């Protein structure tokens, strides 16, 4: 089994329910970060996102995780109309233990993750060794918004 991390974000519809459904659809979840509300980065004017990072203990490699991410986005009704535009669900493969991929459709580790507080803060909650120094206090536009599950549970 391999340790891997996915980033998920939503800024359309019932954002929290969309994220919860995406997490529930995965069968290899080890932990889920707290939820963070974040300002959008780049793209057209749009509403705030809810973001999480999901830790997996999985037998899937980076390419299989990409297929799963795209399927989750499709299930959530994501439409790709405008680059960096609003979306029901965005899922990125951040890091897969022991794997590096540099292909046109997939780069792992994610090439821009260290530039994005909305990724690094929730990643630091689950894997501080992968996000040293990142805290919600030091990340502009990133605000804790509770837990995804009921009763404050952050792992399933």
Catalytic (active site) residue 140: no
- As a whole number of angstroms, the distance between CA 111 and CA 45 comes to 24
**28 contact partners, CB below 8 Å, separation of at least 6:** 56, 57, 58, 59, 60
**151 contact partners, CB below 8 Å, separation of at least 6:** none
Q: Which of 15, 60, 90, 116 is catalytic?
A: 90
- The angle at the Cα of 81, spanning 78 to 83, to the nearest 5 degrees, equals 100
Q: Which of 87, 116, 125, 140 is catalytic?
A: 87
Catalytic (active site) residue 92: yes
- As a whole number of angstroms, the distance between CA 21 and CA 108 comes to 25
Catalytic (active site) residue 15: no
Catalytic (active site) residue 87: yes
Q: Which of 15, 78, 116, 125 is catalytic?
A: 78
Q: Which of 60, 92, 116, 125 is catalytic?
A: 92
Which residues are known catalytic residues?
78, 87, 90, 92
């Amino acid at each position: 089994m391999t340790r891997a991390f996915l980033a998920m974000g939503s800024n359309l519809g019932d954002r929290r329910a969309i994220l919860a459904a995406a997490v529930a659809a995965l069968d290899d979840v080890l932990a889920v970060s707290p939820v963070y509300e974040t300002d959008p980065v780049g793209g057209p004017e749009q509403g705030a996102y809810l973001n999480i990072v999901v830790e997996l203990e999985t037998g899937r490699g980076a390419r299989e995780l990409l297929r799963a991410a795209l399927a989750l986005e499709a299930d959530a009704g994501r439409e790709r109309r405008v680059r960096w535009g609003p979306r029901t669900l965005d899922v990125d493969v951040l890091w897969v233990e022991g794997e590096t991929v540099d292909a046109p459709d997939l780069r792992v580790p994610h090439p821009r993750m260290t530039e994005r507080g909305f990724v690094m803060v929730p990643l630091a909650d689950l894997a501080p060794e992968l996000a040293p120094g990142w805290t919600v206090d030091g990340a502009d536009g990133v605000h804790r918004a509770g837990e995804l599950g009921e009763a404050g549970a952050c792992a399933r």
